[in-house]
Amino acid sequence: MMEEEELEFVEELEAVLQLTPDVQLAIEQVFPSQDPLDRADFNAVEYINALFPTEQSLANIDEVVNKIRLKIRRLDDNIRTVVRGQTNVGQDGRQALEEAQKAIQQLFGKIKDIKDKAEKSEQMVKEITRDIKQLDHAKRHLTTSITTLNHLHMLAGGVDSLEAMTRRRQYGEVANLLQGVMNVLEHFHKYMGIPQIRQLSERVKAAQTELGQQILADFEEAFPSQGTKRPGGPSNVLRDACLVANILDPRIKQDIIKKFIKQHLSEYLVLFQENQDVAWLDKIDRRYAWIKRQLVDYEEKYGRMFPREWYMTERIAVEFCHVTRTELAKIMRTRAKEIEVKLLLFAIQRTTNFEGFLAKRFSGCTLTDGTLPKKPKAPDNPFHGIVSKCFEPHLYVYIESQDKNLGELIDRFVADFKAQGPPKPNTDEGGAVLPSCADLFVYYKKCMVQCSQLSTGEPMIALTTIFQKYLREYAWKILSGNLPKTTSSSGGLTISSLLKEKEGSEVAKFTLEELCLICSILSTAEYCLATTQQLEEKLKEKVDVSLIERINLTGEMDTFSTVISSSIQLLVQDLDAACDPALTAMSKMQWQNVEHVGDQSPYVTSVILHIKQNVPIIRDNLASTRKYFTQFCIKFANSFIPKFITHLFKCKPISMVGAEQLLLDTHSLKMVLLDLPSIGSQVVRKAPASYTKIVVKGMTRAEMILKVVMAPHEPSVVFVDNYIKLLTDCNTETFQKILDMKGLKRSEQSCMLELFRQRLPTPPSGPEGSSSLSLLAPTPEQESSRIRKLEKLIKKRL
């Protein structure tokens, strides 16, 4: 019973001591312990097993029990001490709380006393300082009054003095006094309601107005508008008057500057009147020489009279430019028919030189937005176009002249080409570019630079149109017009002629010089194409931004591309035509009578001979344009291989031995075509992948045709399946040609065609079926032996 009660007590105690995880974590942080008995998840069984892991360890059980009992007694003592210590805690706490409340009440009372005393002290301070504040305000107001009275005295005295000095024209003293009076007057803006202050302000304004009128009258007297006689030197009175004008209304300063410059340039308008001989363009230098002398004269006589910040020298030069532009525009409109291109260019050149002189001499700070046309293309010269703008409406004379000059240049190119003949063959550095091409673009560049200096507006667009016109004419008259013409009359070759043909005999329709000429024209067209593109970019850089979209030389570049294509086509046609007699001879041979397989046939030798004659010449002359040589090779392969297959179908009937000979010939041609880009060259280069792919695909088809022809037609099903697997061609006409090559009778062909149509619904599909190049269908033992024999012969040839 006792044990049961103890167990129940332990369970109840565990239930009471079950703490939340947060509380347990807090206890572990405050009282860290490594003792297993202090763990929240204590397990008695695991603890006992840890104490007695083996049976031998039970020998120490008494010692372990004694230690545990000792620990229990210590815990009981600690608990007893803590419980006894907490007996009087509640009473002590209530007593401490009551004492704290009493202390707070006492503190609150003391704070209230201090606050009352502070308010009384503040009231006393206010009463003490009230008089001091009144004294401070009185002092501030008195100081302000004294200062204002002093300013008023200064203003009144200054106005009196200003009026007196104005009457005596003491401008030097007036300049200093007027600025001071105006500064003092600013302090009285808030007192303008006072009549006396308003009266003084009106007197100051009246004095300013009188000063302005008086100074203008003095300048009018010193520099009268009528007459050209000028005083010998500057006046000190006028120099001081300029200092006063700086302070007065800016319009006074502008009037002084305007009248002085007008009087200074009055002589110019008389000397260079429209009816004077020196006013015309051929004597335009005299205008600029006159202003240069006047600027020097001004610096010597009047340089110190005007303030430096007025930039009078530059203003005189700028006004001269405006007047000159107006006068030149007027006289050129009147005498427009007398303007020649040389005279116009002379005047423009002298004018731009003068504008450059101004840019070196002056900064352009007096130029305003409305005085000059915007010239974004010449940012380093602010005076660019200040005079030369007047020539722009007459630049059509220049454009017409360039049109005429370019027309004569093209005619000279045509005449020189006829006189000198085609360029000499070039086998070292590629096809020679016609020298006339470089001359044309050098002239274009010269015209473009010259015109851009004259104008970056509509004249540049007009010049671009002229460029386009003669680029097309050059392409037509010099390039396309000199391409050799193909002739339709070409003698065919026979078997006997092929047998008698010797190595090195001329078969190509074009001579060596003609081939070199075609290559030279092709190289020239490529140079023109690239240079025209650069020309378009340069024109867009020179022209105004708003006109860039109107610069387009795409049509001219397409024209040169057409010349390139035509040149390549001529080269292909020439070599293709040279090979035609050989292919014709191939199709006329009696292939059913061939008794044994020998060396390559004569027609193959002829084709290879023509290739070796033409291709090295073309390659060497197109060395600088390698990509177009590659295009030539590709186009020739695309032309020759289909033609070869067409003639192959004409070889009928063919015996087994004849088919073997044709297969050998086809393989020889395939190897030659694969080597065509580097044939006859000491430097062997790998043929371009695009070209190799075309040759392999086309010639493999020719080989498959011959393999089908070599295959026995019995059994028929095997033959038809073999055809479909090798050629992957569902065309009945092609199958009919194969049957004709085998020499089958019409009755046999009908059965074969019917079977072919029946086998068509399930043709081989997928990449494996389409790319199969091997004979997959079973053949008789004799056929296999023949094919192996043929393959050995081909390998021996290689």
Residues of the chain with pLDDT > 70: what percent? Answer: 82
With vertex at residue 300, the alpha carbon angle to CA 295 and CA 304, rounded to the nearest 5 degrees, is 105
DSSP three-state, residue 507: coil
Query: Is residue 583 within 8 Å of residue 650, measured between CB atoms?
Result: no
DSSP three-state, residue 151: helix
Query: Is residue 687 within 8 Å of residue 674, measured between CB atoms?
Result: yes
- pLDDT score at 2: 54
- pLDDT score at 762: 52
254: CB partners within 8 A, 6+ apart: none
Residue bearing the bigger pLDDT, 324 or 80 = 324
- pLDDT score at 380: 67
Query: Is residue 259 within 8 Å of residue 220, measured between CB atoms?
Result: yes
Helices (H), 53-194: 61-85, 89-168, 171-185
pLDDT tens digit string along 106-128? Answer: 888 889 889 888 888 888 888 77
pLDDT tens digit string along 708-725? Answer: 888 887 787 778 877 787
User: Mean pLDDT throughout 498-527?
Assistant: 71
CA distance 725 to 461: 64
Average pLDDT of every residue of the chain:
79
Confidence of residue 66 (pLDDT cuts 50, 70, 90): confident
CA distance 485 to 324: 60
Confidence of residue 427 (pLDDT cuts 50, 70, 90): very low
Q: ω into residue 422 within 30 of 0, thus cis?
A: no
User: Mean pLDDT throughout 35-46?
Assistant: 77
* pLDDT over threshold 60, residue 79: yes
Confidence of residue 6 (pLDDT cuts 50, 70, 90): low
- pLDDT score at 573: 92
Nearest alpha-carbon partner for 547 in 635, 452, 655: 452
* pLDDT over threshold 80, residue 306: yes
DSSP state of 283: G
- Give the helix/strand (H/E) hosting 212: helix 195-222
Query: Is residue 212 within 8 Å of residue 249, measured between CB atoms?
Result: yes
Residue bearing the bigger pLDDT, 192 or 588 = 588
* pLDDT over threshold 60, residue 687: yes
CA distance 778 to 23: 92
Confidence of residue 729 (pLDDT cuts 50, 70, 90): low
* Least confident segment among 129-138, 502-511, 561-570: 502-511
First to last CA, the chain: 115
CB environment 224-242: b (16+ within 10 A), e (fewer): eeeeeeeeeebeeebbbbb
* Least confident segment among 221-230, 437-446, 546-555: 221-230
User: Mean pLDDT throughout 4-23?
Assistant: 64
CA distance 246 to 249: 8
Helices (H), 52-88: 61-85
CA distance 160 to 153: 11
Q: How many CB atoms lie within 10 A of CB 452?
A: 19
Confidence of residue 496 (pLDDT cuts 50, 70, 90): very low
pLDDT tens digit string along 564-603? Answer: 999 999 999 999 999 999 999 988 888 888 888 878 889 9
CA distance 493 to 653: 21
- pLDDT score at 782: 42
**Which of 371-375, 500-504, 660-664, 729-733 tops mean pLDDT?**
660-664
DSSP three-state, residue 780: coil
User: Mean pLDDT throughout 159-172?
Assistant: 74
Q: For residue 344, which phi and psi values (nearest 5 degrees)?
A: -65, -45
- pLDDT score at 135: 78
- pLDDT score at 560: 93
Counting every residue written for the chain, the total comes to: 798
Confidence of residue 425 (pLDDT cuts 50, 70, 90): low
* pLDDT over threshold 70, residue 343: yes
The two structure tokens encoding residue 286: 């005299």
- pLDDT score at 153: 66
User: Mean pLDDT throughout 618-633?
Assistant: 89
- pLDDT score at 423: 65
Q: For residue 555, which phi and psi values (nearest 5 degrees)?
A: -60, -40
CA distance 495 to 796: 27
- pLDDT score at 673: 92
- pLDDT score at 205: 76
Confidence of residue 4 (pLDDT cuts 50, 70, 90): low
CA distance 67 to 787: 106
pLDDT tens digit string along 437-452? Answer: 999 999 999 888 888 8
* Least confident segment among 89-93, 372-376, 425-429: 372-376
User: Mean pLDDT throughout 189-211?
Assistant: 75
User: Mean pLDDT throughout 140-158?
Assistant: 71
Query: Is residue 433 within 8 Å of residue 523, measured between CB atoms?
Result: yes
Q: For residue 207, with 0-12 CB atoms within 10 Å meaning exposed, 13-18 middle and 19 or more buried, which class applies?
A: buried
* pLDDT over threshold 70, residue 705: yes
* pLDDT over threshold 50, residue 228: no
DSSP state of 652: -
Residue keyed to tokens 């015109």: 451
Residue bearing the bigger pLDDT, 363 or 643 = 643
- pLDDT score at 374: 42
With vertex at residue 751, the alpha carbon angle to CA 747 and CA 752, rounded to the nearest 5 degrees, is 110
Helices (H), 1-88: 2-16, 21-30, 44-51, 61-85
Query: Is residue 556 within 8 Å of residue 532, measured between CB atoms?
Result: yes
Instruction: Transcribe 369-393 into DSSP letters.
Output: TTTS---TT-TT-TTTTTTGGGGGG
- CA dist list (Å): 171 to 249, 347, 363, 393, 458: 16, 47, 31, 50, 54
CA 13 to centroid of chain Cα atoms: 86
User: Mean pLDDT throughout 460-464?
Assistant: 91
Q: How many CB atoms lie within 10 A of CB 744?
A: 16
Taking the CA atoms of residue 721, residue 726, residue 727 and residue 731 in that order, the dihedral angle to the nearest 10 degrees is 0
DSSP three-state, residue 706: helix
**Amino acid letter, 568:** I
CA distance 362 to 548: 32
* Least confident segment among 9-13, 166-170, 778-782: 778-782
Query: Is residue 395 within 8 Å of residue 339, measured between CB atoms?
Result: no
- pLDDT score at 495: 36
Give the global pTM: 0.64
DSSP three-state, residue 760: coil
CA distance 633 to 615: 9
Instruction: Transcribe 434-496 into DSSP letters.
Output: PHHHHHHHHHHHHHHHHHHHH-SSHHHHHHHHHHHHHHHHIIIIIIGGGSPPP-S------HH
**Amino acid letter, 177:** L
Query: Is residue 186 within 8 Å of residue 227, measured between CB atoms?
Result: no
CA distance 400 to 377: 24
pLDDT tens digit string along 634-650? Answer: 999 999 999 999 998 88
- pLDDT score at 487: 56
- pLDDT score at 571: 92
* pLDDT over threshold 90, residue 490: no
CA distance 582 to 603: 5
- pLDDT score at 568: 93
- pLDDT score at 781: 41
**Which of 88-97, 219-228, 367-376, 424-433 tops mean pLDDT?**
88-97
Nearest alpha-carbon partner for 231 in 240, 222, 242: 222
- pLDDT score at 635: 94
- pLDDT score at 237: 78
Query: Is residue 700 within 8 Å of residue 738, measured between CB atoms?
Result: no
CA distance 347 to 324: 12
Query: Is residue 162 within 8 Å of residue 174, measured between CB atoms?
Result: yes
Q: How many CB atoms lie within 10 A of CB 574?
A: 22
- pLDDT score at 537: 93
CA distance 426 to 738: 47
DSSP three-state, residue 420: helix
CA distance 571 to 509: 10
